[in-house]
Structure 1
Amino acid sequence: MRKPMNKLFLLVVAAALVLTSFVTSSMPVYAEELDIDAESAILVDAETGKVLYAKDPDAALPPASMTKIMTEYLVWEAVENGDISWDTTTQISDYAYEVSSNIDSSGIGLTQQQDYTVEELYAAMAINSDNGTTIALAELIAGSESEFVEMMNEKGEELGLPEFKFVNSTGLDNESLGDNYPEGTSPNDTNLLSARSSAILAAALVNDYPEALEISSIPNKEFDDETIENWNFMLDHDSVNLEQYYYEGVDGLKTGHTELAGYAFTGTAERDGKRLITVVMKTPSIEKRFEETAKLLDYGFDEFETQELFPAGYQEEDEETVPVARGKEKEVNVGINEGIHVPVKSGEEELYHLEYTVDEERLNDDGELEAPVEADEVIGTVTVVYDGEEEDFGYISDEVSEESYDLVAMDDVEQSNWFMLTLQSIGDFFVNMFQGAFNWVKGLFS
């Protein structure tokens, strides 16, 4: 039986942290007081995609092992598509074996000529951040890590990540891979993600494959006659050395550290049915990445509540109708046919209004809808606008957000029959003729 090197090392690190850090304050932290000790950070409501706080969220930085969130997503997708199953077995290549043997890079020491299931490899990757198991999964799914990297970048485009570059499956710097760096990349390459991109990726994993949290929330697990430990200290490790970092509701997601990346963490927590996603990048220490995450989570849970700001049937004042041409009525009531729910900061419930945008393709040259119009027919979009003084960070992306809603007609407007349309045309003719004559006479005396 191998010595539990990871567990021993983890306990040594934890003990050192006890001597060098302080218990995170349980006092609520407010926006004007938030001072996140990270180069980049973001806090997102997972359900709506609303950004509750951001600090330089679009800076592309090395994510280190947070890269594995993309690898995890592609494993779940491959299982869902039937390409592999959790019981599928594979053996360890020389490359994966060499990386896994390096205890300086979360290596747990895999054995060659031994069958490992996808479930076993995934657990070691998601819990202990093992790099060898990550490479083994990449090779199993795509045939080689090089081809897997292509899949990673294609999925990044598909998910709408704004700033990203994947050069390997693990998050290690390519220079640490020796001659094994993937084809199409350079030996000096490193993965890049912004905090926003990492949050979008995390939201995709959490929302598309929530079962992933059942694994990322495991503090420790037996693997190949060894106990592997989770580097997420905010879980309940049942250890006095780590209890100061425990945060109720945290169930993921992925830590990261390299010399180039510093200490990073993509976290997620759920309380009372509300899930938040946090990212901190390039924090100065192990303890700081968890302390700063706790600040963000406190702010999100204490200060924001998802509320129905506008109920179904709501109509914005002074914009209740849109003109209709060739109809039995000259206008139609418009509004929303479903309630709009938004994470709102305490005391700011009244600082929002709706902005309507009618689809121009639905309007004639005079800016009118053409009859007939049916109730609940979508005629445009509605956007929620914040009128407060604090910075509005908007939504995480177009793909994830619920910023726009349907603007619908609230009544039926039938088309007038030919007789009424004829009378209307005659009436319009005389009105226009009279108006023209009036303007001509008025011009004589001006």
Structure 2
Amino acid sequence: MNLASGVPVLPKDVTARSWIIADAESGEVLAAHNAHWRLAPASTLKMLFADTLLPKFPKTATRKVAPSDLAGIGSGSSMVGIKENETYTVHDLWLGVFLRSGNDAVHVLSAMNKGVKNTVQEMNQHAEELQALDTHVVTPDGYDAPGQVSSAYDLTLIARSGLQKKDFREYSSTVTAKFPGETAKNKKGKSVRKSFEIQNTNRLLTGDYDISQYPGIAGVKNGNTTNAGSTFTGVAERGGKVLLVTVMNPEKDEHNEVYKETARLFDWGFKAAGKVEPVGELVPPKGAADAQPGATASGQANDAGSGEAGGGAGTGGDSAKPVASATTESGSSGIGIAFAITGGLLALLAGGAFLVNRRWPLRRR
């Protein structure tokens, strides 16, 4: 592989079956390995669930949970602790989805969206709109199911779409939050409902005993099932560059291995950005592609999906604008949420875009 002067060799201790490193703004794929392999996505599929449903319900909307809302949750699922006959806000439910990867929260939100079957149909339609052509949804929560697949390329596309939404960015970067508990009688016989703390399971965001919080990390979503192994998509900013990395199913069976391999790929990406020839690009949604002839799904095929590829000598696209530091939401603490331009300006949400791809305008959302 030809590398420009000063560009490091790709890390050799990455054992994932599939991975990708992409520039979040330009969409350029800096390096990839089996990026279009169709693999079980586990809970990283919740990014598509969120990108599909987040615009539908205001944060303040409420749902009293019926027993039918929690039907069909897979055995051994990750749960945030939702109780029947208790009322939760949509804000509570999304915290449960992003922080604890709660399949119970996914099922309640799906019930609000006319059921699991309808939600799965809408997720597949949204994947098609995003040109995430390797993705097929069977369960909205990512629980293992025959025929349910995605790819490192698609998960990166989906994350990039989700990160255009303010709520998506905030939830995926929230470290801890308070979650409503079960209503009970106190000593005086009065009904009270206490809350308990939940923590994000993304270890690049929170850190752990064998891994530090990754500098500049701002989300996105992790997953783990028997069939999928460990999966993770992350976004981080450094030196004015915003990168997306997806890692699927490391063969090395060590604690937090998926995060360790993601961190190595981030390190390489930040050193290589602007110095390597891109091996492909993240395609725009269908609507944006239709508005610009030539920007079609064929952009996926620039060697980003077969074998291992890293950029050759050359220069990348325009650099991304720097992003601001963390913000904090009432009732929760966040790290690196921001995606706002340095100097106090808000992110380009008023124009419907996050770090707008200079090659195609994102449609107003």
Per-residue displacement from partner, 1:3-30 (whole Å, max 9, x unpaired)? xxxxxxxxxxxxxxxxxxxxxxxxx982
Instruction: For 2:242 and 2:228, locate their aligned partners in 1 and report how far apart those are by CA, in whole Å.
Output: 26
Per-residue displacement from partner, 1:99-136 (whole Å, max 9, x unpaired)? 6796x321132111111110000011011100010111
- Flag the structure with more relative contact order, 1 or 2, with Cα contacts below 8 A and sequence separation at least 6: 2
Q: Is the Cα–Cα contact under 8 Å of residues 233 and 246 in structure 1 kept in the other structure?
A: yes
Instruction: For 2:103 and 2:45, locate their aligned partners in 1 and report how far apart those are by CA, in whole Å.
Output: 11
The corresponding residue for 2:160 is 203
Q: How does 1:54-203 map onto structure 2 within 5 Å?
A: 54-78=32-56, 84-97=57-70, 104-141=76-113, 143-174=114-145, 189-203=146-160
Q: Residue 295 of structure 1: which of 243, 261, 264 is its match?
A: 264
TM-score (norm 2): 0.68
The SS at the match of 1:163 is coil
Q: Is the Cα–Cα contact under 8 Å of residues 49 and 402 in structure 1 kept in the other structure?
A: no
Q: Report percent identity of matched pairs.
A: 29
Q: Is the Cα–Cα contact under 8 Å of residues 99 and 131 in structure 1 kept in the other structure?
A: no
Q: Residue 220 of structure 2: which of 230, 249, 253 is its match?
A: 253
Instruction: For 2:11 and 2:109, locate their aligned partners in 1 and report how far apart those are by CA, in whole Å.
Output: 43
AA at the equivalent of 1:70? L
Q: Is the Cα–Cα contact under 8 Å of residues 10 and 268 in structure 2 kept in the other structure?
A: no
Cα deviation for residue 304 of structure 1 reads: 1.5
AA at the equivalent of 2:260? E
The SS at the match of 1:59 is coil
Instruction: For 2:177 and 2:216, locate their aligned partners in 1 and report how far apart those are by CA, in whole Å.
Output: 20
Per-residue displacement from partner, 1:232-252 (whole Å, max 9, x unpaired)? 111145x6x25x231111111
The corresponding residue for 2:170 is 214
AA at the equivalent of 1:76? L
Any gaps of 5 or more consecutive residues in structure 1? Answer: 1-27, 79-83, 175-188, 306-343, 349-377, 406-446
Is the aligned partner of 1:264 residue 2:221?
A: no
The SS at the match of 2:53 is helix
Per-residue displacement from partner, 1:171-191 (whole Å, max 9, x unpaired)? 0024xxxxxxxxxxxxxx252
The corresponding residue for 2:353 is none
Q: 1:145 to 1:404 in 2, by over 3 A?
A: closer
Q: 1:148 to 1:217 in 2, by over 3 A?
A: same
The SS at the match of 1:62 is coil
The SS at the match of 2:177 is strand
Per-residue displacement from partner, 1:315-344 (whole Å, max 9, x unpaired)? xxxxxxxxxxxxxxxxxxxxxxxxxxxxx3
Q: Is the Cα–Cα contact under 8 Å of residues 16 and 248 in structure 2 kept in the other structure?
A: yes
Q: How does 1:323-342 map onto structure 2 within 5 Å?
A: none
The SS at the match of 1:152 is helix
Cα deviation for residue 216 of structure 1 reads: 1.4
Aligned length: 275
AA at the equivalent of 2:204? M
AA at the equivalent of 1:195? A
Per-residue displacement from partner, 1:261-313 (whole Å, max 9, x unpaired)? 001101111123321111101114441101110111001112223xxxxxxxx
Instruction: For 1:164 and 1:117, locate their aligned partners in 2 and report how far apart those are by CA, in whole Å.
Output: 30
Q: 1:127 to 1:190 in 2, by over 3 A?
A: farther
Instruction: For 1:49 and 1:68, locate their aligned partners in 2 and report how far apart those are by CA, in whole Å.
Output: 22
Instruction: For 1:389 and 1:298, locate their aligned partners in 2 and report how far apart those are by CA, in whole Å.
Output: 15
Q: 1:67 to 1:31 in 2, by over 3 A?
A: same
Cα deviation for residue 32 of structure 1 reads: 4.5
Q: How does 1:361-380 map onto structure 2 within 5 Å?
A: none
Instruction: For 2:11 and 2:48, locate their aligned partners in 1 and report how far apart those are by CA, in whole Å.
Output: 33
Instruction: For 1:247 and 1:90, locate their aligned partners in 2 and report how far apart those are by CA, in whole Å.
Output: 36
AA at the equivalent of 1:213? R
Larger-gyration structure (1/2): 1
AA at the equivalent of 1:119? H
Instruction: For 1:107 and 1:61, locate their aligned partners in 2 and report how far apart those are by CA, in whole Å.
Output: 23
Any gaps of 5 or more consecutive residues in structure 2? Answer: 1-5, 181-194, 278-291, 296-301, 303-309, 318-355
The SS at the match of 1:105 is coil
Q: Is the Cα–Cα contact under 8 Å of residues 29 and 298 in structure 1 kept in the other structure?
A: no
Structure whose residues are more often helix by fraction:
1
Instruction: For 1:128 and 1:232, locate their aligned partners in 2 and report how far apart those are by CA, in whole Å.
Output: 9
Cα deviation for residue 139 of structure 1 reads: 1.6
Q: 1:402 to 1:196 in 2, by over 3 A?
A: farther
